[in-house]
Amino acid sequence: MDALSSLSTVRELVSLGEDAYLELASLALERARELENGEAPIHAFLSLVEEPPPFRGTLSPVGGAAAKHLAGVPVAIKDNICTLGLPTTCGSKFLKGYVSPYAATAVRRLEEAGAWIIGKTNLDEFGMGSSTENSAFGPTRNPANRERVPGGSSGGSAAAVAAGVVPAALGSSTGGSVRQPAAMCGVVGVKPTYGRVSRYGLVAFASSLDHVGVFARSVPDAAATLEVVAGPDRRDATSRRLDLAPASASSPREPSEVLKNRSIGVPAEYFGDELDYGVRRVVERALETLREAGARLIPVSLPSTATALSCYYVVAPAEASANLARFDGIRYGRRADRVRTLSETYFRSRGEGFGDEVKRRILLGTHVLSAPQYEAYYLRALELRRRVLEDFERAFRTADALFAPTTPTVAFRLGEKQSTPAEMYRADIFTVAANLAGIPAMTIPIGDDGGMPVGGQLMCPAWEDEKMLRIAAALEARLGYVHPLAGEA
């Protein structure tokens, strides 16, 4: 077993004491640096610590329960989540070199559980994109095939876990940025219920859709990491006073018991024309596995699926246009040189600081919120959003959970969709609905198509994250499939 591939291998080594910890920590850093080498670097990280923090013992410094114990575990953090010490750039020229004066709640909780931050990971600028090609600092490549994208926008975190640098990482999801890259890189990705993890310190993209999520190589590891970061936070009014049940609840002890007689809804709209044939085959095999394990597969319908993507691309840009107004060249980030007037400061700082996709979203968002368009677009989109919610409510009346593909295709080639934004947006077609509804959703690796990983998506009713994790752990155990570490094969 690779030393850095799971929380339990790391824990075991760290429990041997300081020498073992330091050896493991340098191995993680060495691997992280290696991702920058060669003609086609993976480029998962935008910044790395110079050296690991000193050994702090084998117990969590803030004496949490054993399950919360992440002592000595290196973790990677998406670069739109604030950390002390390392810059938080959001993949934008605007924030190049910006160091936050405070740490995100999720980051603080990881550190309190004993984990250490190895570095900040690459992303599409401000989380806007599906391939990590919209980073101002160059794209990340997929560890499974360097000619392909890792997905996005949390491509760096997904790649860091897939390449075996860290056993767990944080990302953010507004429309699918945890599940989509996790599926494309062959790792587990969880977007919890909206309000489960504090957004304090996550740089806002679209506040009603933004979530902090986790990446890991197995469901129990993702559950353990989520358990550490989840929970109420007085700094985020949308976080709820509800703790996540201990991660041990999702350990795959009795997969057959968890799956037996479980009703799993299969949404017809997720198996339409846009679903690639190779991906469909792998998903159908996973459905077969669920059936063999005693689950009852029931067809369900989510008619709003076809409009959910359009709804998302009105609501998200609308909120983004308001959130990104704070980047004005005065309060945050870079200011254009030699500006003479206030309006010139705004125009030039924003014009030079933001990349094309961010500008496109701001224009779109400002347009749909403008007085003549507000009703036709924004209010209409809010109506559609309600229908997405109602569809899920109806489906969950008969199904405990839904199972579907995470992405319509495996990871595509670098550059393939960059000149056609609408094509790029379609990469999120199966993930945006769960963000619009705020329900928990996750992906696990279920196989591969031509060597490229395929993800299977589970969705559950709001606040039933534990149930989702238990079903996922049982399916994972039953499938016995783990995508190989890059270079392992």
Binding site for ligand GLN (CB under 6 A): 127-130, 153, 172-177, 205, 316, 428
User: Residues 78, 120, 417, 467: which is the catalytic one?
Assistant: 78
What element of type H or E holds 319? helix 305-323
Q: How far is the CB of 456 from ligand GLN (least distance, A)?
A: 19
Q: Which is nearer to ligand GLN, 346 or 354 (CB)?
A: 354
Q: Hey, is 174 helix, strand or coil? A: coil
Q: Are 163 and 486 in contact (CB under 8 A)?
A: yes
- Picking from 367, 418, 483, the residue whose alpha carbon sits closest to that of residue 132 is 418
93 labelled catalytic = no
Q: Which is nearer to ligand GLN, 204 or 297 (CB)?
A: 204
153 labelled catalytic = yes
Q: Hey, is 77 helix, strand or coil? A: strand
Alpha helices (H) in 339-445, listed in sequence order: 342-353, 356-369, 380-398, 421-425, 432-437
Q: Which is nearer to ligand GLN, 221 or 428 (CB)?
A: 428
Q: Rounded CA gap, 28 and 25, in Å?
A: 5
Q: Which is nearer to ligand GLN, 123 or 264 (CB)?
A: 123
Q: How far is the CB of 195 from ligand GLN (least distance, A)?
A: 17
User: Residues 177, 198, 321, 349: which is the catalytic one?
Assistant: 177
Q: Rounded CA gap, 420 and 17, in Å?
A: 52
| Sign of the CA dihedral with 363 first, then 366, 372, and 377 last | positive
Q: How far is the CB of 306 from ligand GLN (least distance, A)?
A: 17
Q: Are 134 and 90 in contact (CB under 8 A)?
A: no
Q: How far is the CB of 128 from ligand GLN (least distance, A)?
A: 5
What element of type H or E holds 182? helix 179-185
Q: Tell me the Ramachandran region of residue 176: left when phi exceeds 0, alpha when psi lies from -120 to 50, beta otherwise.
A: left
For residue 162, give the amino acid letter. Answer: A
For residue 84, give the amino acid letter. Answer: L
78 labelled catalytic = yes
Q: Which is nearer to ligand GLN, 176 or 220 (CB)?
A: 176
Instruction: Report helix angle 305-323 to 356-369, nearest 10.
Output: 100
Q: How far is the CB of 487 from ligand GLN (least distance, A)?
A: 28
Q: How far is the CB of 175 from ligand GLN (least distance, A)?
A: 3
Q: Rounded CA gap, 335 and 349, in Å?
A: 5
User: Residues 5, 60, 100, 153: which is the catalytic one?
Assistant: 153
Q: Rounded CA gap, 231 and 209, in Å?
A: 18
Q: How far is the CB of 323 from ligand GLN (least distance, A)?
A: 12
**Beta strand segments in 132-280, E:** 168-173, 188-191, 211-216, 263-267
Q: How far is the CB of 313 from ligand GLN (least distance, A)?
A: 8
Distances (CA, A) of 293 to 14, 16, 123, 397: 37, 39, 38, 22
Q: Hey, is 5 helix, strand or coil? A: coil
**Cα within 13 Å of Cα(403), Cβ side:** 30
Residues recognised as catalytic: 78, 153, 177
